[in-house]
Structure 1
Amino acid sequence: MTMTIQFEPIQEQHVPEVLAIYNYYVLNTTVSFHTEPLSLEQMRAQLMNVPAHYKSYIIRSGEASADIAGYILVTPHKNKQAYDTTAEVTVYLHPDQTGQGLGSQALCFLEEAAAESGFHVLVATVCTENINSIRLFERHGYEKCAHFRQIGRKFDRWLDIASYQKIMKE
């Protein structure tokens, strides 16, 4: 089923809803490696203080939805000039919006936005317990390029992460 969705650049007024989505994952999952909820100021700093060619969007689903269904980010991979054509991509959906094909549509949109901004490589870093995200990125042509074992600790256990990359144009 393909859901009708719209994307809007993240604005100041969206930050509280985006924060609520993110903090759900902080408190309840290993999707995020934060162990404590972020404050409004911390989330604002992460979303609003990035160079212009890195894009962040909210996702609205349905015909006239006032609620944010999720958000997507294109952020710096590393803070060194040689990485300027590489970006980290992130998809966070409201927990009630998962499993409906929204992530796939969002990732396609995000890739188009990244390509328009001139990015050559996209990287997604995922906790290896997050099978749904791994499947999403693999379905869209991302290849596993790194696996870091026991790199994080949350909920009293060691966690692995894997990095997936997609070369946009050869």
Structure 2
Amino acid sequence: MTYQHRLATREDLPAIVDIYNSVIPERSATCDLEPVTVASREAWFAESDPQRHPIWVGHESGRPEVVTGYVSLEPFLNGRRGYDVTADLALYLHPEHRGSGQGAYLLSQAVARASALGFRTIATTIFASNERSLRLFRSHGFREWGRLPAVADLDGRAEDVVFVGLPLGGSSREQGGSGLG
């Protein structure tokens, strides 16, 4: 299957929320224990900025209206200005599109464009038990920068969180550039 991407629109938010909610029962990719609502994600979406903190949706070639995953570059550590050179990456896939190459595609596209958005580093956290995600990120050059033992509780199961990061090649914000689109 061939995937493409585009900038997310407000009309994509229900599909984005559905994809995010699909991982909650699995207890493998988020510490949210209850489904989120579209209304609860409105502010998150409104704060995204295609020129700085974009959200991109994946779709099958020729079907841009069917959202099959999403990736976002978000403010790092509560958006404190000193961290503006680092993006917190989030990547979620529709269950029917996991293991099909879409995750690798979306991750490679985000990494390829992050420097032009002004980032020097991309970082994220992944549950230590989520070997599939850890392999994906490692295959794109991310390295383990730390491990936080038992910081999450998923229905009584203590979970370690692995902090991974990727330094990017030297582009700066001043060099401009737009998003993936």
TM-score range, shorter chain: over 0.9
Q: Distance in 2 between matches of 1:141 and 1:129?
A: 19
| Residue aligning to 2:72 | 73
| Residue aligning to 2:139 | 139
Tell me, which stretches of 5 or more residues in structure 2 are unaligned?
171-181
The 10-residue stretch of structure 1 (75-84 or 44-53) with the greater mean CA deviation from structure 2? 44-53
Residue identity matched to 2:167: I
| Residue aligning to 2:95 | 95
Q: Distance in 1 between matches of 2:63 and 2:40?
A: 30
Q: Distance in 1 between matches of 2:139 and 2:26?
A: 26
| Residue aligning to 2:30 | 32
Q: Distance in 2 between matches of 1:13 and 1:130?
A: 30
Q: Distance in 2 between matches of 1:57 and 1:35?
A: 25
Deviation at 1:30, TM superposition (A): 2.3
- Is the CA contact 1:127–1:159 (under 8 Å) kept in the aligned structure 2? yes
| Residue aligning to 2:174 | none
Q: Structure 2 residue aligned with 1:21, among 19, 32, 35?
A: 19
Q: Structure 1 residue aligned with 2:39, among 38, 41, 45?
A: 41
Runs (4+) of structure 1 moved beyond 3 Å? none
- Could you say which structure has the greater relative contact order, defined with CA pairs below 8 angstroms and 6 or more residues apart? 2
Deviation at 1:65, TM superposition (A): 5.4
The 10-residue stretch of structure 1 (8-17 or 39-48) with the greater mean CA deviation from structure 2? 39-48
- Is the CA contact 1:55–1:113 (under 8 Å) kept in the aligned structure 2? no
Deviation at 1:9, TM superposition (A): 1.1
Deviation at 1:5, TM superposition (A): 1.7
Percent identity at matched positions? 23
- Is the CA contact 1:4–1:63 (under 8 Å) kept in the aligned structure 2? no
Summarize the Cα distance change of 1:23–1:68 in structure 2 as closer, same or farther, 3 Å threshold. same
Relative to the length of structure 2, the TM-score reads 0.87
Q: Deviations over 1:44-102 (max 9, x none)?
A: 22222135401111100133353211000100112211100100111101011011111
Work out the number of aligned pairs and report it: 168
Q: Distance in 2 between matches of 1:50 and 1:11?
A: 10
Residue identity matched to 2:161: I
The DSSP-based 3-state class of the residue aligned with 1:28 is coil
